[in-house]
């Protein structure tokens, strides 16, 4: 089975020039934890992980301890950091040169990569142009299709 048989041809994307606030909105709206970052021409730039955005905004442990170490203070600092960083670009958080696959690659190839590298979603490209994404759920669906055929 090929990746094109199970991939999402309309993956959740974000412009590499977007702000952290825009990224938070896309993560919230799509409920997807990895966004494919593209340029204005639709070419792959990289991947933006939800965890990397959270780590950029979440206060450091030492900062939390300095203000008393409570959950309430940590949350207040998180909100303050979010407001302070909202207009900053996501570019520095993007994982450049991510692992990619092509639509004609075998599903087993991406499944192997996902398991060995602990990746949830892989961009599907033709040349440098994004044509889709494949997730672990897509791989599972593909496995079900093969076993039920």
Stated length of the chain: 149
Q: What pLDDT does residue 74 have?
A: 84
What is the DSSP secondary structure assignment for residue 89, as one 8-state letter? B
pTM for the model stands at 0.83
pLDDT single digits (tens) 83-134: 888 899 999 999 999 999 999 999 999 999 999 999 999 999 999 899 999 9
Give the pair of three-digit tokens for residue 126.
């033709």
- Exposure of 61 by Cβ count < 10 A (0-12 exposed, 13-18 middle, 19+ buried)? exposed
Total domains, the chain? 1
Across 69-88, average pLDDT? 84
Full domain range(s) for residue 70: 3-148
Q: What is the CATH number of the domain that holds 132?
A: 3.10.580.10
Q: Which residue has the tokens 């089975």?
A: 1
Mean pLDDT of the chain: 91
What is the DSSP secondary structure assignment for residue 100, as one 8-state letter? -
């Amino acid at each position: 089975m090929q990746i094109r048989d199970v991939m999402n041809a309309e993956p959740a994307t974000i412009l590499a020039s977007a702000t952290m606030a825009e990224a938070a909105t896309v993560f919230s709206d799509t409920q997807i934890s990895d966004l494919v970052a593209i340029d204005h021409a639709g070419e792959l730039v990289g991947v933006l992980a939800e965890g990397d955005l959270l780590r950029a905004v979440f206060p450091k442990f030492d900062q939390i301890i300095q203000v008393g170490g409570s959950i309430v203070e940590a949350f207040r600092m998180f909100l303050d950091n979010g407001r302070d960083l909202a207009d900053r670009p996501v570019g520095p958080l993007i994982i450049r040169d991510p692992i990619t696959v092509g639509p004609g690659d075998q599903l087993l190839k991406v499944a192997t990569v996902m398991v060995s590298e602990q990746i949830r979603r892989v961009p599907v490209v033709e040349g440098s142009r994004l044509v889709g994404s494949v997730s672990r759920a897509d791989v599972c669906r593909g496995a079900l299709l093969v076993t039920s055929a």
